[in-house]
Amino acid sequence: MTQLLKIRDLKIGATVYPPGEPTRWMEIVKGVSLDLEKGKVVGLIGESGAGKSTIGLSALAYGRGGVEITGGSVDVNGRDILKIRPGALRKLRGAEVTYVAQSAAAAFNPARKLMDQVIETSLEHGRLSKSEAEARAVELFRTLGLPDPETFGKRYPHQVSGGQLQRAMTAMALCPGPDLVIFDEPTTALDVTTQIDVLAAIKTAIRETGVAAIYITHDLAVVAQVSDHIMVLRHGETVEYGETDQIINAPREEYTRALVSVRQIEHVEKGPGTEPVLKVEHITARYRGLPRDVLHDINVEVYPGQTLAVVGESGSGKSTLARVITGLLPPSEGSVTFDGRTLSSAMEGRTREDLRQVQMIYQMADTAMNPRQTVGTIIGRPLEFYFGLRGAEKKRRVKDLLEKIEMGDGFLDRYPAELSGGQKQRVCIARALAAEPQLILCDEVTSALDPLVADGILKLLLDLQKTENVAYMFITHDLATVRAIADSIAVMYQGQVVRYGPKTQVLSPPFDDYTDLLLSSVPEMELGWLEQVLNTRKMQSAGN
Amino acid sequence: MGLLARLLAQRIALGLVLLFAASILIFVGTSLMPGDVAQEILGQSATPEALANLRAELGLNEPPLTRYISWLTGVLHGDFGTALTNNMDIATSIGKRLSNTLFLAGCAAIIAVPLAVLLGLIAVRFRDRWPDRLISTITLASISLPEFLIGYLVIYFVAVKLRWFPSMAMVYDGMTLAQKLNAVALPVLVLVLVVLAHMMRMTRAAILNVMQSAYIETAELKGLKRFTIIWRHAFPNAVAPVVNVVMLNLAYLVVGVVVVEVVFVYPGMGQYMVDHVSKRDVPVVQACGMVFAFVYISLNMIADIVAILANPRLRHPK
Amino acid sequence: MRRIPLGAALGLIITVLFFLAAIFAPLLAPYGMAEVVGGVWEPASDKFWLGTDNIGRDLLTRLIYGGRTTIFIATAATLVAFGVGTALGLLAAVLGGWADQALSRFVDLVMSIPALIFALVVLSVTPTTVLVLVLVMGLLESTRVFRLSRAVAVDITVMDYVEAARLRGERRTWIIFREILPNALSPLVSELGLRFIFGVLFISTLSFLGLGVQPPQADWGGIVKENKEGIVYGIPAALYPAVAIAALSISVNLVADWVLNRTSSLKGGRG
């Protein structure tokens, strides 16, 4: 085995411009070392800000947006690429080392055909002739499972789907026959069911071309499927580095253990109550100006103090269902019954009491809070608005709520911009709780968060459910989340509920095709899971 | 009909509607103002007979709609009526002056457009270094001054102190092209200065926007040469925004020309219009307003058409 | 209002000085506004710091009074533009539907004719009084303010926090004044500066063309018009307003830039 990549004591920093504070220098990567042999795959894993992408790009001697490599060495094929001339560096990039970006949709030039872009490096670096390169590209398209590999390259980037573009970008990286490919979160932006197919395609392509790869992701279960070694990173430092089997099955560090056991929250399903707090009956809805119904004949119920998880991929209509329940989108047919009384279909027709009883928490806590209001104002407003609380009484109650979301009253006068992602979501939870509702609609509330932070939020929501006896309708695309929190589940596909019932029943065979596809799309923290699942699947994902 | 053709047809139709609406607006602006137009024109000392005559001449006794329709019919046939002040046919007077104005604006455009794109590219290439800062400081200063003052600054320094070019731009029939160019050198210089600043700033922004896209990073990580990156990946995507910028600024040039003509006593449309605004010669003002609006709306339309044509998503629909 | 960068601080100081000079013009000016005090185009001297104008009035006095007129008209026009523009812009964004369509299309139409040309057309039939000038300029400018405030407000109204307020059952006034306006303020303040500068340039241009402020009132554009004949004899009297206009507009630009940068880098930050 020959050494391909040798990174020693890599230090990377960047100039940051925090708002309202002086510009300062920040160290992003603090002395990381890494080895990679020919044909092997190493996974870099960590939360956002761990420095994993920055390390990956250093194998191309590239710093994105003001990022500078300040120390250490990066040897590719025996020479330090941080010290070579610009001309030599250009020969390395796109030939010896190539790159697959997270968003292929943005990374392809919209004005040129896919084939031209896929074979560009092979021609520029004089590696292949045009006809050879095209033949190889078609071969790669086939390996990667793209439709009509012969003619696929004649299309423009906007003419193919996101999953296909991600495969095309992989083909573009593999075409010149590089020694090393950097995969930078290649499946993160894709739909759950598509993600696994693309992951499998990438794995096949890596195996067939024998290329070495750095695979960057925040999802340990994903990286476990493709890599030989895993490096766990946190705040720019190596936490643990070892073989995949060891990291997954025998993690040494506390932090790695936490990552491995993520989403393994124990939640025992509660039996259905007698009277549902929310009853959605025969809801059919469409957006103005669109020809098709987005929701079709939806019937679900939520019981007091319980959680209904609504699960499906993007475009399945699950968020639209929440909009119908809140009255933001009046349905064309059907009714929403709350606590025994039928709610007005439009928000404008509901009483203040009706509005108070149903609260909402959003996916992006960033945009869900007015940046010009303090935490105290944000949480205090519902108290003032619904219960007429003022002054000291209001403040005391706000402090209570901050206590409940495990944040101190030191946060009273902070602005949203001064909070971390998890803290922001907690404040949104407190705002919803302030109204003392019977039902909270949670729209993908954890999907923008890092896994450990998301876990914290889920645990908090479960605890609050016990103490406040509030019901949740939990909208998500992530089945692991569903397992952790749901009492009953509704699986949505193309605007319809395809499977609905208590958690254990929905998650037990026999499955319908779509639920099977969805269930098989959640990466498990075990080796060889990917191959096994692909062999037993009944249905193809929409991204194909 | 394809999507592209449909969009183009829509945009052209919109242009026509805008022109039509602009004609109404100009007509309303001049005809239905509060107060008596005849009184305004003749002043407080006018005799009742003179007022009555003028009202009849202006057709003020007829309902506005009738007046508008007869005016618009005339305009569509190239007949703008006669000037109140000297009873000359307006269309004839405009014809001559319009060609002078287009000559002036054309010369300015030929110099300003390539220069602006070039400076824009330099500013992007040396972003945040001294060439960029120098260019942006100078352009900021020139944006901060009205056109006529730039005109007099140029006259004071170039014509009076240095005596390089004449301070007035007289053109008449029988001049050779070289004589003509010499005469318009200073007004062209001023127009270039005025338009260049805006055009260059917007070009810079347009190119920067393209250069910051992810596909340029991809090209860089492919190890392509800088020139290849710009030519193959940046240029095709920057054409549309840059052409758009150029067109918008040519439209701006149309306005700049009005003031510059007055400064240099140049016998063009702008001079003609301003003269007749102070004389309150309404038919002439309406006619000039329509011509300027026509040029302005057309240039804006061309800008949009170029943007539509250059969009790969529209050219190669799914 | 923590550390203000040097450029913006300088801009702010100069802008304030200009406004003070405009307010206290009668106290500052050495002579009367229309007072003939010397010969034609006398050079600068102890008596006349900047010399005299085409009929022997003190140029410094004319400039100070001219600034007063110009700044007053530009300010008034800007206020009209903002009053009308933001009110309609926010309303269009919040109401949406056909009201938004009607307003937006009408503004498109007015903007399809260059502002100067439109002003000339209107001024050909209206008396050139200060009130008319302010209204014409203000209303023409309000189209641009309308577009900006509508665009900003539309961006904000689709934010989840506005939706959250609506779901809470808040009134429209709360949503406009507590949720939208505080977040729309910075781009609008920055635009206020740019519009003011545009107003200064606009009124100067109109006066220069003889269609703005009428003599014997002094204003910066008018001073250029009155003294332009001198330029061919090498008398720079007509160029002094250039210095004043440039100084004022660069200062305001610097302040406006800073306001905008301060807030755009603060996307979702504190104010």
Boundaries of every domain in chain C? 6-250
Q: Which residues of chain A does C268 touch, with a Cβ-Cβ cutoff of 8 Å?
A: 366-367, 371, 416-417
Q: Flag if B218 and A159 touch (Cβ within 8 Å).
A: no
Give residue B44's pLDDT.
Answer: 67
**Contact (CB, 8 A) for C253 and C228:** no
Q: Flag if B18 and C242 touch (Cβ within 8 Å).
A: no
Task: Indicate the burial class of A493 (C-beta count within 10 angstroms; 0-12, 13-18, 19 or more).
Answer: buried
Higher per-residue pLDDT: B189 or C32: B189
Q: Is the model's pLDDT at A438 over the cut of 90?
A: yes
Higher per-residue pLDDT: B49 or B38: B49
Q: Which residues of chain B does A94 touch, with a Cβ-Cβ cutoff of 8 Å?
A: 221-224
CA distance A176 to chain C (A): 41
Q: Is the model's pLDDT at C147 over the cut of 70?
A: yes
Q: Is C98 on the interface with A (CB under 8 A)?
A: no
A223 and A323, same domain (yes or no): no
Q: Which residue of A has its CA nearest to B228?
A: A124
Confidence tier at C267 by pLDDT (50, 70, 90): very low
Q: Is the model's pLDDT at A541 over the cut of 70?
A: no
Give residue C23's pLDDT.
Answer: 86
Question: Which residue reads 């206590």 in tokens?
Answer: A403
Q: Among B249-253, C4-8, C105-109, name the most confident range.
A: C105-109
CA distance C122 to chain B (A): 5
> At a CB cut-off of 8 Å and minimum separation 6, what does C24 contact?
none
Q: Flag if B318 and A112 touch (Cβ within 8 Å).
A: no
pLDDT per residue over A218-244, tens digit each? 888 888 889 999 999 998 899 999 999
Rounded to the nearest 5°, which phi and psi values hold at B180?
-60, -45
How far is residue B149's CA from residue C250's CA, in Å, rounded to a whole number? Answer: 15
The closest of B250, B298, B291, B295 to B269, measured between CA atoms, is B291
A396 and A489, same domain (yes or no): yes
CATH superfamily of B99-278: MetI-like (1.10.3720.10)
How far is residue A293's CA from residue A276's CA, in Å, rounded to a whole number? Answer: 26
Nearest by CB to residue B236, choosing from A92, A98, A111, is A111
Mutate one of A54, A109, A116 to test the B interface: name it (highest B CB count within 10 A): A109
Q: Is the model's pLDDT at A262 over the cut of 70?
A: yes
For A192-249, the three-class secondary structure string (H helix, E strand, C coil) is HHHHHHHHHHHHHHHHHHCCEEEEEECCHHHHHHHCCEEEEEECCEEEEEEEHHHHHH
Q: Among A370-374, B241-245, B304-308, name the most confident range.
A: A370-374
Q: Which residue of A has its CA nearest to B226?
A: A90
Q: Which residue of A has its CA nearest to C172?
A: A348
User: Do the bridges between strand A67-76 and strand A79-80 make them parallel or antiparallel, or are there none, so unpaired?
Assistant: antiparallel
Helix (H) / strand (E) element for C168: namely helix C160-168
Q: Among A10-24, B301-315, C119-133, C155-169, name the most confident range.
A: C155-169
Nearest by CB to residue C112, choosing from B22, B145, B278, is B22
CA distance A109 to chain B (A): 5
- Rounded mean pLDDT of A310-332? 90
Query: How long, in residues, is chain C?
Result: 271
Helix (H) / strand (E) element for A499: namely strand A496-502
- Rounded mean pLDDT of B23-45? 69
Q: What token pair was written down for B124?
A: 């992007």
Q: Is the model's pLDDT at A543 over the cut of 50?
A: no
Q: Distances from the Cα of A188 to the Cαs of A163, A438, A447, in angstroms?
A: 11, 34, 11
Nearest by CB to residue B221, choosing from A62, A124, A159, is A62
Q: Which residues of chain C does A368 touch, with a Cβ-Cβ cutoff of 8 Å?
A: 160-161, 164
Q: Which residues of chain A does B222 touch, with a Cβ-Cβ cutoff of 8 Å?
A: 93-94, 98, 120-121, 124
Note whether residue A369 is domain-resident.
Answer: yes
A192 and A330, same domain (yes or no): no
Q: Which residues of chain A does B215 touch, with a Cβ-Cβ cutoff of 8 Å?
A: 106-110
Q: Which residues of chain C does A418 touch, with a Cβ-Cβ cutoff of 8 Å?
A: 270
Q: Is B233 on the interface with A (CB under 8 A)?
A: yes
Quickly list H helices, A390-544. 391-404, 421-434, 451-468, 479-485, 503-506, 513-519, 529-536
Q: Flag if A106 and B223 touch (Cβ within 8 Å).
A: no
A383 and A347, same domain (yes or no): yes
pLDDT per residue over A487-520, tens digit each? 999 999 988 999 999 988 888 888 888 888 888 8
Q: Which residues in A302-341 are b (16+ Cβ under 10 Å) and which e?
A: bbbbbbbbbbbbeebbbbbbbbbbbbebebeebebebeee
% of chain A residues with pLDDT over 90: 44
> At a CB cut-off of 8 Å and minimum separation 6, what does A385 contact?
C168, C169, C170
In sign, the C-alpha dihedral spanning A192, A194, A198, A199 is positive
Note whether residue A1 is domain-resident.
Answer: no
Q: Flag if C205 and B160 touch (Cβ within 8 Å).
A: no
Rounded to the nearest 5°, which phi and psi values hold at C36?
-85, 120
Nearest by CB to residue A156, choosing from B215, B225, B312, is B312
How far is the first Cα of chain A from the last one, in angstroms, to the nearest whole number?
37
Q: Which residue of A has its CA nearest to C186?
A: A372
If DSSP codes are grouped into helix, strand and coil, which group holds residue A342?
strand
Note whether residue A41 is domain-resident.
Answer: no
Task: Identify whether C182 is preceded by a cis peptide bond (ω within 30 of 0).
Answer: no
- Rounded mean pLDDT of B187-213? 85
Q: Which residues of chain C does B55 touch, with a Cβ-Cβ cutoff of 8 Å?
A: none
Q: Which residues of chain C does B280 touch, with a Cβ-Cβ cutoff of 8 Å?
A: 124-125
A249 and A292, same domain (yes or no): no
Give residue C270's pLDDT.
Answer: 30
Alpha carbon A286 to its chain centroid, in Å, reads 27
Mutate one of A372, A373, A431, A440 to test the C interface: name it (highest C CB count within 10 A): A372
If DSSP codes are grouped into helix, strand and coil, which group holds residue A389?
coil
Give residue C268's pLDDT.
Answer: 35
Q: What token pair was written down for C151?
A: 């665009």
Q: Which residues of chain B does C124 touch, with a Cβ-Cβ cutoff of 8 Å?
A: 30, 276-277, 280-282, 285
Q: Flag if B218 and A107 touch (Cβ within 8 Å).
A: yes
CATH label of the domain that carries residue A432 = 3.40.50.300
Nearest by CB to residue B223, choosing from A94, A108, A111, is A94
Q: What token pair was written down for B181?
A: 């160019």
Q: Which residue of B has its CA nearest to C248?
A: B144
Q: Flag if C238 and B40 touch (Cβ within 8 Å).
A: no
A152 and A285, same domain (yes or no): no
A179 and A226, same domain (yes or no): yes
Q: Which residues of chain C does A19 touch, with a Cβ-Cβ cutoff of 8 Å?
A: 265-267, 269-270
| Mutual angle of helices B147-154 and C220-231, in 10-degree steps | 20
Q: What token pair was written down for B271?
A: 């001079």
How far is residue A435's CA from residue C77's CA, in Å, rounded to a whole number? Answer: 46
User: Do the bridges between strand A237-243 and strand A229-234 make them parallel or antiparallel, or are there none, so unpaired?
Assistant: antiparallel
In chain B, domain spans? 99-278
Q: How open is the CA angle A447-A451-A453, to the nearest 5 degrees? A: 90
Nearest by CB to residue C161, choosing from A355, A369, A418, is A369
Give residue B40's pLDDT.
Answer: 62
Q: What is the dihedral of CA B43, B44, B49, B51, to 10 degrees?
A: 50
**Contact (CB, 8 A) for A530 and A203:** yes
For B59-98, the three-class secondary structure string (H helix, E strand, C coil) is CCCCCHHHHHHHHHHHHHCCCCCECCCCCCEHHHHHHHHH
Total number of domains constituting chain A: 2
How far is residue B296's CA from residue C208's CA, in Å, rounded to a whole number? Answer: 23
Q: Flag if C109 and B146 touch (Cβ within 8 Å).
A: no
Give residue C265's pLDDT.
Answer: 42
Q: Which residues of chain A does B314 touch, with a Cβ-Cβ cutoff of 8 Å?
A: none
Q: Of the residues A202, A226, A260, which one is the last residue of a structural domain?
A: A260
Q: Answer yes or no: is the ipTM higher than 0.90.
A: no
A334 and A365, same domain (yes or no): yes
CA distance B126 to chain C (A): 21
Range of the domain at A330: 278-508
A214 and A299, same domain (yes or no): no
Give residue C262's pLDDT.
Answer: 64
**Contact (CB, 8 A) for A301 and A502:** no
Give residue A538's pLDDT.
Answer: 62
A352 and A249, same domain (yes or no): no
Confidence tier at C266 by pLDDT (50, 70, 90): very low
Give residue B80's pLDDT.
Answer: 74
Q: Which residues of chain B does C117 touch, with a Cβ-Cβ cutoff of 8 Å?
A: 255, 258, 273, 288-289, 292-293, 296
Task: Tell the CATH topology of C6-250.
Answer: MetI-like fold (1.10.3720)
Note whether residue A468 is domain-resident.
Answer: yes
A247 and A323, same domain (yes or no): no
Confidence tier at B312 by pLDDT (50, 70, 90): confident
Give residue A194's pLDDT.
Answer: 83
User: Do the bridges between strand A212-217 and strand A229-234 make them parallel or antiparallel, or are there none, so unpaired?
Assistant: unpaired
Rounded to the nearest 5°, which phi and psi values hold at C87?
-60, -50
Phi-psi region of C126 (alpha: psi -120 to 50; beta: other; left: phi over 0): beta
Q: Which residue of A has its CA nearest to B314?
A: A158
